[in-house]
Amino acid sequence: MIPWSAFVYVEWWTRAHRNHRFSLWIPLFLAWLLLLPLVLILFPVVALACLFVRVNALRLYAAAWSILSSLPKTRVEVRAAGTRVLVDVA
C-alpha cells in the first residue's frame, strides 16, 4: 500500500538554550491524486522506452511499486549541531 501521509518535525536550539519546534503534517494522498494523470500518460511511454532499451517493463513497474509500497513506516531522523529533523511516513 502506498503512503497516505507524512509528518515532518523540526527542532532546533538557539544560543540562549531556547528550544524551538515546528511540525507539519503532509497529506500525500493529495499528491497521489495530482500525479495520477501524469502517471497514466507516462505509463505507455515508459513501456515503449523499455522496449527500445530491452528492459522488461513489468519488472520495472514491479520494482517501482515495491519501492512505493515499502515507504510506509519509514522514519528518517537527522541530527546536527543544535538541530533535529524527523520525517515519518505513514
d(CA 48, CA 42): 10
pLDDT digits (tens, 9 = 90+) for 9-43: 999 888 777 788 999 999 999 989 999 999 999 99
Domain that holds residue 41: 5-89
pLDDT of residue 8: 95
d(CA 11, CA 51): 48
d(CA 4, CA 88): 11
pLDDT digits (tens, 9 = 90+) for 56-77: 999 999 999 999 899 898 999 9
Q: How many domains does the chain have?
A: 1
Q: Is the dihedral of CA 49, 53, 58, 64 positive or negative?
A: negative
d(CA 40, CA 85): 34
